[in-house]
Structure 1
Amino acid sequence: MSEPRNILFIMFDQLRWDYLSCYGHPHLKTPHLDRLAARGVRFDNAFIQSPICGSSRMSTYTGRYVHSHGASWNGIPLKVGELTMGDHLRAAGMSCHLIGKTHMRADAEGMARLGIEPDSLIGVRVAECGFDVVERDDGMRPEGPDGFYDEGGAARYNDYLRAKGYESDNPWHDYANSGRDAEGHVLSGWFLKNSSEQANIAEEDSETPYLTRRAIEWIEQAEGPWCCHLSYIKPHWPYVVPAPYHDMFGPDDVLPPVRSDAEYADAHPVLKAFMDAPVGKAFARPEVRNPVVQAYMGLIKQCDDQMGVLFDYLETSGRMQDTLIVVTSDHGDFLGDHWMGEKMFFQNASVKVPMIIYDPSTAADATRGTTSAALVECIDLAPTFVQVAGGAIADHILEGESLLPLLRNPDADTRRDFVICEYDYSASPISEKLGLSVRESAMFMVADTRWKLVHFEGGFRPILFDLQNDPQELVDLGADPDHADTIAAMYDKLFRWTRRNAQRTTRSTAQLEQMRRSSGRRGVMIGIYDENDVPLELTVKYRGLKVPDRSGSAS
């Protein structure tokens, strides 16, 4: 084995950390991802920076917290000036390519203000989150009375399906993400009652195998060093699966939901609003939840089988010997835990993600097959990739830290003693339901290995979980006066995070240190009484000068 020359960055969408067998799921077996974990490092405390697709991914791609990059919800553009891992890697001599999803919205107004042409090389990169696009597919082409959710969503995939004979205006919906009854009616995957249906598509034509083939096709012709972001769409809803995965799991394979009646009855008012959202109410019903979880498990099983296809190709092609491989997710899925569906809150079902990293370097032999309990954030991936590429980490921009030391030293740890996650729900109906202004519709999570605190704007009290004695996060201690000191200590950590200097991105640490010493060499003399009080070389421009008297009327 040699030093990694390339990077394969695999991200699944809405994959829970505990729905892989290497993380302990008792019924869902994922041998191919387990095989990767046996050859790399499995991180047991990896956290996202926002519990929603768009803002979570923007943090991962920029290596910056949501408060820094500003793309705080789906559809909010990433500011035109934000650098991404593609920018950092190209500066280090490594190309950076996309196959799949980013959920990025381009800052069209910012590009126009700066005169950046959308069809120019820089314009395309700015509009595509810094990636050179092989194929972008955000995997979302729903259509309502006001049109498509994403006008370009699944466009190329739809062309592929039509070429394969799936005749429809929108085969993404009508075939890949829906079932079919005996009379030929489409059973839409948008309706949870259809989650037990078999998707009306050949398995090899469904989204996950399609993206795997696109990745293999690209890698076969790629010239390194390269980074390929293979960003899968599943197991994100719609929860409909092709055969044979649609009935691979039964009711006995479904784990009971992690929730309690007391948790619901005593819920914090903001948490209660999320519990009472329609998706939460739906997942509270066993007849809804159980088939959805079975379908979700089928989607994950298909994902793992495709990892087997991909890893076998990498072995036979020799790429396994020179490619760093990362597998993670943009967030989890509540699946009825804590009386919620979707992902928009801070329990670990949502904010903790799987992260497996395989490093082919001989320097990583000491950590193969190990687990790390270090507190890791997804913003750590960008600086990790820069270090793998041989570049200098711009730590005045990138707010994470490289994980390479943890991949090569079993005793290494991160420098942090807490992790951060943010959620701006000002564009959510829940904000209106709570009567909150846009400014008030924000919450922040700070967690260490023992405690998790959630702060809310809008005048609400915090939530506090004791992760040691209540690992399922069922008991909120935020109103308990006996924990006032713990709450204060966690707020100290949150305040320490808010005080970081995240916006000074145009000067590096080394440049600032140099500036401390440079002004005197440019003639600035502050507090100097006599020219002989400083070295001669600093005042040579001010010594021995003669000029005529022009202070009065003299001509």
Structure 2
Amino acid sequence: MINRPNFLFIITDQHRADHLGCYGNPVLQTPNIDRIAAGGTRWDRFYVANPICMPNRASIMTGRMCSIHGARHNGIPLSKDHTTFVELLRDAGYNTGLVGKSHLQSFTGLPATNRFEAQDGLTTPSAHLRDAYKNNRHSSEYDLEVAPNWHTRLADRLKGDFYGFDHVEVVADHGDQASGDYLLWARAQTPDFDTLTGPANALPDNRIDAPQAWRTAVPEELYSTSWIADRSEAWLTQQAGRDAPFFLQMSFPDPHHPFTPPGRYWDMYDPADITLPASFGRGDLPPIKAMKEAMKNGTDPRDNQNPFAVTEDEARAIIALTYGMITMIDDAIGRVVTRLETLGLADNTVIIFTSDHGDYMGDHGLMLKLLLHYQGIIRVPFIWNDPAAPVQGNVDPGLGSSIDISATILARAGIQPFNGIQGRDLLSTPPPNAIIIEEDSQRTMTGFDRPQRVRTVVTETHRMSLREGEDWNELYDLKRDPDELTNLYDAPEAVDVRHCVTETMLRRIIELQDRAPLPAYRA
């Protein structure tokens, strides 16, 4: 029987790979994460299964693609009919805890943009027959993370575990707008806490003028990043001396927008010191041109989740603020790792670090995410530090995916995965020749006249993205054109390459077709 290690699984939100010191960022200070990487392995080419929060988090939990588990975009919860790797850990005797962001269910409670519409002249099916799935995840058990209804702790509203987690203390939303269990705690500490949050209550600061950026009045000690560190330390303290191993997911809602690092982290980085991406202001794809035109005309909404174009000054300011949020997270991680050491747990705890997706952060002059699968969006950090198998700053160049995280953790824990898991053990199996990335949108974005469906393949040398309903696609040579500036999809000299990449994509998609459930009988 394998010695069962503990796991500290750290995940951030909207955090691209090159926004860490250990991934080559010369400005950003992340000494604690860098130290974890220095004693372990970081994957240089690790990609998301989907570049959106809920779908990719569901893929991490299940080790399966979004087209299989069904949480295709935000607003579709992960079905409780789907097995998670945390449930297998719990089943094998692990104590399981989640502190921070979950986002396996919806936050907003707003009506969906895609709904069943009755058609004139046709008989409308009964309500329970209007979807291909009779259990269509619309029941109250899938409304547990709706922020406006979060009046009591999530743990007090549960019957049993939460997707395998026995202990849950959850944050919804982002920046100083964070809610959930965290907000209940913050209001208990400071009854007038709501007078500290949001742009209307922001502290004056004339140096920063950028969309979704304000100097929050929330002090550092009441900010969600600090709360997550506090509660993680408390839970780990409870594990000391227990016989059972533990799995703790410590999940930060930053550095996702809005850009509101508190206290000293607000002006820790000077926008003047920020170097813009090499692709800034370049790119002629239809949505890029549309976003630039909308910025010029002042018609682009810049206060929601949709991507938008930015000026150079806005990009530098937002990147500087994002760096502040990341350094605050790094400081919090340092606190928790120190607590592991103080408790005598560090020598048997595997530390894992990743993010759910990236952000344009100025790539091609854009901000946020959605629909254009540039490297800043789809490539995220992945770090594995195992004290039982120490290495010094190892870098794995192979292709890895979010769906691989669950299989790797289960293998290290000595637990056989369930039938239908699609990820691989990153530590003992060879990398695939291609990674598939899926994205479906629920609403129309600037530059499009319909919701989009995009499928991307990343190989050792190329990235190709195909989209439904458009007359343009993308193909880039990542070796010669790492900034993805020259679209080769329609280039005559790239026809053979396109055909080869297309076949690779198709074969990989076939490989990722579902192998669950198991048959009941032999034919």
Shift of 1:110: 4.6
Shift of 1:494: 1.6
Residues 266-304 of structure 1, C-alpha deviation per residue, up to 9 Å, x if partnerless?
Answer: x2x356556666458864212322221111111111111
Q: Distance in 1 between matches of 2:416 and 2:423?
A: 14
| 1:491 has 2:502 as partner | yes
Q: Distance in 1 between matches of 2:421 and 2:201?
A: 41
Among 151, 154, 158, the residue aligned to 2:179: 154
CA distance 1:352–1:210, change in 2 (3 Å): same
CA contact (8 A) 1:465 1:477 kept: yes
Among 342, 359, 367, the residue aligned to 1:316: 342
CA contact (8 A) 1:328 1:355 kept: yes
Letter in 1 for 2:385: Y
CA distance 1:77–1:125, change in 2 (3 Å): farther
Q: Distance in 2 between matches of 1:262 and 1:116?
A: 42
Shift of 1:167: 0.2
1:70-89, aligned counterparts within 5 Å? 70-89=70-89
CA distance 1:180–1:92, change in 2 (3 Å): same
CA distance 1:262–1:316, change in 2 (3 Å): closer
Q: Distance in 1 between matches of 2:139 and 2:66?
A: 23
1:367-446, aligned counterparts within 5 Å? 367-394=391-418, 396-405=419-428, 414-425=430-441, 427-430=442-445, 434-436=448-450, 441-446=452-457
Partner of 2:192: 167
CA contact (8 A) 2:398 2:431 kept: no
Decide which moves more: 59-68 or 277-286.
Answer: 277-286
| 1:476 has 2:487 as partner | yes
Shift of 1:217: 0.2
1:187-336, aligned counterparts within 5 Å? 192=210, 195=213, 197-222=214-239, 223=242, 224-259=244-279, 263-264=283-284, 267=285, 269=286, 272=289, 278-279=301-302, 283-336=309-362
Shift of 1:92: 2.9
Shift of 1:115: 11
Residues 141-160 of structure 1, C-alpha deviation per residue, up to 9 Å, x if partnerless?
Answer: 999xxxxxxxxx61332232
CA contact (8 A) 1:32 1:305 kept: yes
Among 376, 389, 411, the residue aligned to 1:349: 376
Q: Distance in 2 between matches of 1:158 and 1:120?
A: 14
Partner of 1:146: none
Q: Distance in 1 between matches of 2:155 and 2:496?
A: 55
CA distance 1:209–1:272, change in 2 (3 Å): same
Among 326, 339, 345, the residue aligned to 2:365: 339
CA contact (8 A) 1:282 1:289 kept: no
Residues 200-239 of structure 1, C-alpha deviation per residue, up to 9 Å, x if partnerless?
Answer: 1221221111100100101111243221111111111110
* Consecutive unaligned residues in structure 1, runs of 5 or more: 144-152, 406-412, 520-555
Q: Distance in 1 between matches of 2:444 and 2:352?
A: 35
1:9-88, aligned counterparts within 5 Å? 9-88=9-88
Shift of 1:499: 1.8
CA contact (8 A) 2:54 2:73 kept: yes
CA distance 1:161–1:404, change in 2 (3 Å): same
CA contact (8 A) 2:175 2:253 kept: no
Letter in 1 for 2:100: G
Q: In structure 2, the residue corresponding to 1:18 is in which secondary structure?
A: coil
Shift of 1:449: 1.6
Partner of 1:135: 169
CA distance 1:461–1:32, change in 2 (3 Å): same
Residues 435-470 of structure 1, C-alpha deviation per residue, up to 9 Å, x if partnerless?
Answer: 33x6xx201110112111001111533200100000
CA contact (8 A) 2:58 2:78 kept: yes
Shift of 1:193: 5.5
Q: Distance in 2 between matches of 1:281 and 1:220?
A: 41
| TM-score (norm. length: structure 1) | 0.77
Residues 299-318 of structure 1, C-alpha deviation per residue, up to 9 Å, x if partnerless?
Answer: 11111111211111111211
Letter in 1 for 2:251: S
Q: In structure 2, the residue corresponding to 1:244 is in which secondary structure?
A: helix
Shift of 1:497: 2.4
Q: Distance in 2 between matches of 1:435 and 1:209?
A: 42
Q: Distance in 1 between matches of 2:276 and 2:459?
A: 27
- Root-mean-square deviation (Å): 3.3
**Considering only CA atoms, is the larger Rg found in Structure 1 or Structure 2?**
1
CA contact (8 A) 1:63 1:383 kept: yes
Letter in 2 for 1:400: G
Q: Distance in 2 between matches of 1:174 and 1:111?
A: 32
CA distance 1:354–1:281, change in 2 (3 Å): closer
CA contact (8 A) 2:43 2:396 kept: yes
**Larger RCO: Structure 1 or Structure 2 (Cα < 8 Å, ≥ 6 residues apart)?**
2
Letter in 2 for 1:36: I
Shift of 1:434: 2.9
CA contact (8 A) 2:203 2:217 kept: yes
Decide which moves more: 77-86 or 380-389.
Answer: 77-86
Shift of 1:348: 0.9
Letter in 2 for 1:420: I
Q: In structure 2, the residue corresponding to 1:447 is in which secondary structure?
A: strand
Partner of 1:522: none
Q: Distance in 2 between matches of 1:502 and 1:281?
A: 31
Residues 363-412 of structure 1, C-alpha deviation per residue, up to 9 Å, x if partnerless?
Answer: x23x3321111111111111112112221123x3211101233xxxxxxx
Aligned identity (percent) is: 28
CA contact (8 A) 2:14 2:356 kept: yes
CA contact (8 A) 1:397 1:502 kept: no
* Consecutive unaligned residues in structure 2, runs of 5 or more: 107-132, 145-153, 295-299
Q: Distance in 1 between matches of 2:141 and 2:56?
A: 29
CA distance 1:91–1:194, change in 2 (3 Å): closer
Partner of 1:101: 101
Aligned residues: 473
CA contact (8 A) 1:330 1:353 kept: yes
Shift of 1:112: 8.3
Shift of 1:498: 2.5
CA contact (8 A) 1:273 1:430 kept: no
Q: In structure 1, the residue corresponding to 2:16 is in which secondary structure?
A: coil
Q: Distance in 1 between matches of 2:160 and 2:505?
A: 34
| TM-score (norm. length: structure 2) | 0.82
CA distance 1:281–1:258, change in 2 (3 Å): farther
Letter in 1 for 2:445: I
Residues 230-262 of structure 1, C-alpha deviation per residue, up to 9 Å, x if partnerless?
Answer: 111111111011121111111332121332555
CA contact (8 A) 1:423 1:444 kept: yes
CA distance 1:494–1:282, change in 2 (3 Å): closer
